């Protein structure tokens, strides 16, 4: 996926979001691009209930907390800094400013503790087994 390319929404799977789940970020039907979010340990329960209610929010990966005894504080999540959701809902980066202004320079200047994914790969098909064959 290249910047500006849009990813069609997935069919509704009714997956309850959990800490460590990763999903494409979107702002409306068929609005997903290359931006993703990870559900962090400090995410409020009411927000977890809201995630996944929109067609553009479908988890596609997760940080495997089983390796850490299910304790997010022992996982890589504990090392990542969370700025929160994008404006106006949170203090995170404004996607429009990333692409219109000076991109990575804006992120480095305004969000110095922001973490970046350098590599992502499939470890196993665990979620597909848990959800069922429709996944």
- CB burial of 15-37 (b: ≥16 within 10 Å; e: otherwise) equals bebebbbbbbbbeeeebbbebeb
Instruction: Give yes or no for a contact between 106 and 94, defined as CB atoms under 8 angstroms apart.
Output: no
- Long-range CB pairs of 69-73, under 8 A, 24+ apart, other chains included: 72/19, 72/20, 72/41, 73/41
The pLDDT assigned to 123 comes to 62
The answer on pLDDT for 71 being more than 50 is yes
pLDDT of 8-63, one tens digit each?
Answer: 998 878 888 999 999 988 888 988 887 888 898 888 888 888 888 888 888 988 88
Q: Say which DSSP state 9 is in.
A: P
Percentage of the chain exceeding pLDDT 90: 7
User: Mean pLDDT for the chain?
Assistant: 81
Instruction: Please name the residues in contact with 5: beta carbons below 8 A apart, sequence gap of 6 or more.
Output: 33, 34
pTM above 0.85, yes or no: no
The answer, yes or no, to whether the previous bond of 131 is cis (omega within 30 of 0) is no
CB 44 within 8 A of CB 59: no
């Amino acid at each position: 996926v290249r910047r500006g390319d849009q990813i069609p929404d997935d069919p509704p799977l009714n997956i309850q979001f959990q800490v460590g789940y990763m999903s494409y970020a979107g702002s409306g039907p068929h609005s997903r691009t290359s931006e993703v979010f990870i559900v962090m340990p400090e995410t409020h329960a009411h927000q977890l209930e809201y995630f996944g209610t929109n067609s553009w929010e479908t988890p596609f990966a997760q940080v495997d907390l089983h390796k850490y005894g299910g304790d997010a504080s022992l996982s890589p999540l504990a090392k990542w800094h969370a700025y929160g959701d994008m404006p106006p809902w949170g203090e995170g980066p404004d996607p429009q400013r990333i692409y219109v202004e000076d991109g990575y320079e804006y992120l480095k200047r305004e969000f110095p503790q922001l973490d970046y994914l350098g590599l992502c790969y499939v470890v196993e098909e665990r979620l597909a087994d848990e959800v069922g064959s429709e996944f």
